[in-house]
């Protein structure tokens, strides 16, 4: 019994520190913004070709994914956000709920996921551009120099936009 109350106090203290630190930031994104961002992030341009190829049959797979993954995930996030409305989301919830190591692993996995997605951006943009230009632009999708240059440009642009955004957010 003592361990549970001691653990609860420790959790409350850690949560209070995070809440205090989180209060420094402006809360700019609302529920609508987050829902639209999630839709864009999950569906994105990558799936347009696959959806077109599969035709209307893919709608059933999306509905199953919504019912079995996205809605339960949203319920968990809403619950956790009401219990611990902290800046840092998944990382903070895992750190406070389990341990620093688990929190680190969550943050590391999220970072790797973002790096993987970002690394595909140059290939996606050049492939889409080659399709848009038609037969005259087919060479773009297989030119490693153009793909690398496009990737470097996009990553640099994202860094500049993020830096400006963080500067405005402070």
Full DSSP string of 54-81: HGGGHHHHHHHHIIIIIHHHHHHHHHHH
pLDDT in tens, the chain (170 residues): 556 677 667 777 777 777 776 666 666 667 788 778 777 777 766 677 677 777 888 788 888 888 998 888 888 888 887 877 777 778 888 888 888 899 899 999 988 988 887 878 888 888 888 888 888 888 988 899 999 999 899 889 988 998 898 777 66
CA dihedral 12, 73, 44, 108 (to 10 degrees): 50
CA distances from 36 to 31, 40, 89, 107, 163 (A): 9, 6, 18, 23, 23
């Amino acid at each position: 019994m003592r361990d549970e109350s001691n653990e609860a106090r420790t959790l409350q203290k850690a949560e209070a520190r995070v809440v205090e630190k989180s209060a420094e930031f402006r809360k700019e994104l609302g529920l609508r913004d987050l829902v639209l961002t999630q839709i864009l992030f999950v569906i994105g341009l990558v799936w347009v070709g696959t959806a077109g190829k599969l035709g209307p049959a893919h709608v059933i797979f999306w509905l199953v994914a919504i019912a079995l993954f996205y809605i339960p995930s949203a319920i968990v996030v809403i619950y956790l956000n009401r219990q611990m409305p902290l800046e840092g989301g998944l990382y903070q919830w895992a750190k406070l709920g389990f341990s620093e190591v688990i929190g680190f692993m969550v943050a590391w996995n999220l970072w790797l996921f973002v790096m993987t997605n970002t690394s595909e951006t140059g290939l996606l943009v050049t492939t889409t551009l080659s399709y848009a230009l038609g037969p005259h632009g087919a060479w773009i999708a297989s030119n490693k120099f153009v793909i690398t240059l496009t990737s470097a440009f996009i990553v640099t642009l994202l860094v500049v936009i993020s830096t400006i955004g963080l500067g405005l957010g402070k």
